[in-house]
């Protein structure tokens, strides 16, 4: 059993504050190549990455912050979460949200504080590199599963190279802003964003850990007991 893999899997966590240090282009290319090594149904290899830094990243952030300032309604290109959210999932969502706000000392009633943290999603949490993840609109649910494996491989390589990341599903809320800014084709669906950089380990937002469901909640074993 590989300690390296366990270490990567169990020490990875979403990082939402970054140091002011660049990510080398060669490192990003290595992350992309590692991601593409993921398996996919019929080897279709779905998904594209739009990787931004410097001015292109700053320009996209300006457009996204303008959309927030304008109270622009969210796009509903695809639904990330089940609608309605069943109570047991709502509970998990709440727990993750409370852990985040508690780490930042944002109280449950501090709507302004929560709004400000939400807006931070659209700055890629101040990371030096922002990624927009897209998939062809015509792809089926299986292809989204493939995209997930692609992204997990990407995230593991990020960790392995000494960087950190977080997914930003909230990016899909302003898909049309992103499509326009990047000049995406009509067939490209914005799935999520990623923020990548060196973790600011001392920042309060990076101090909490999320919990996971127990084994008995998601795995059933058949025919093992004799």
**Which parts of this chain interact with ligand FMN (CB under 6 A)?**
13-14, 16, 96, 121, 166-170, 192, 210
Cα-based distances in Å from 160 to 8, 18, 110, 163:
7, 17, 37, 7
- CB 203 → ligand FMN: shortest distance, Å? 14
Residue least distant from ligand FMN (Cβ) = 167
Q: Which is nearer to ligand FMN, 25 or 108 (CB)?
A: 108
- For residue 133, the cross-strand partners are 49, 192
**Distance, CA of 51 to chain centre:** 13
- CB 193 → ligand FMN: shortest distance, Å? 7
Of 50, 40, 51, residue with least CA distance to 139: 40
Q: Which is nearer to ligand FMN, 24 or 142 (CB)?
A: 142
Q: Which is nearer to ligand FMN, 5 or 24 (CB)?
A: 5
- CB 69 → ligand FMN: shortest distance, Å? 19
- CB 225 → ligand FMN: shortest distance, Å? 32
* 165 neighbors 196 (Cβ within 8 angstroms): yes
Q: Which is nearer to ligand FMN, 49 or 170 (CB)?
A: 170
* 130 neighbors 195 (Cβ within 8 angstroms): yes
Q: Which is nearer to ligand FMN, 28 or 154 (CB)?
A: 154
Q: Could you tell me the two tokens for 81?
A: 């979460």
**Residue 8 exposed, middle or buried by CB count within 10 Å (0-12, 13-18, 19+):** middle
* 163 neighbors 198 (Cβ within 8 angstroms): yes
- CB 12 → ligand FMN: shortest distance, Å? 7
């Amino acid at each position: 059993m590989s300690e390296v893999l366990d270490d990567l899997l169990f020490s990875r966590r979403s990082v939402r504050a970054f140091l002011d240090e660049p990510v080398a282009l060669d490192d990003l290319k290595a992350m992309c190549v590692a991601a593409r090594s993921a398996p996919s149904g019929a080897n279709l290899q779905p998904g594209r990455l739009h990787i931004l830094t410097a001015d292109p990243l700053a320009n996209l952030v300006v457009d996204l912050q303008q959309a927030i300032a304008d109270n622009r309604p969210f796009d509903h290109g695809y639904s990330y979460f089940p609608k309605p959210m069943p109570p047991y999932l709502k509970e998990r969502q709440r727990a993750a949200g409370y852990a985040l706000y508690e780490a930042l000392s944002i109280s449950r009633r501090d709507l302004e504080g929560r709004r400000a943290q939400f807006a931070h999603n659209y700055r890629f949490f101040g990371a030096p590199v922002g990624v927009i993840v897209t998939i062809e609109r015509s792809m089926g649910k299986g292809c989204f599963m493939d995209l997930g494996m692609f992204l997990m491989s990407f995230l593991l390589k990020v960790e392995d190279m000494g960087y950190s990341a977080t997914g930003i599903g909230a990016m899909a809320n302003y898909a049309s802003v992103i499509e326009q800014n990047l000049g995406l084709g009509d067939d490209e669906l914005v799935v999520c964003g990623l923020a990548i950089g060196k973790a600011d380990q001392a920042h309060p937002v990076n101090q909490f850990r999320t919990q996971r469901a127990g084994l008995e909640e998601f795995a059933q074993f058949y025919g093992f007991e004799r």
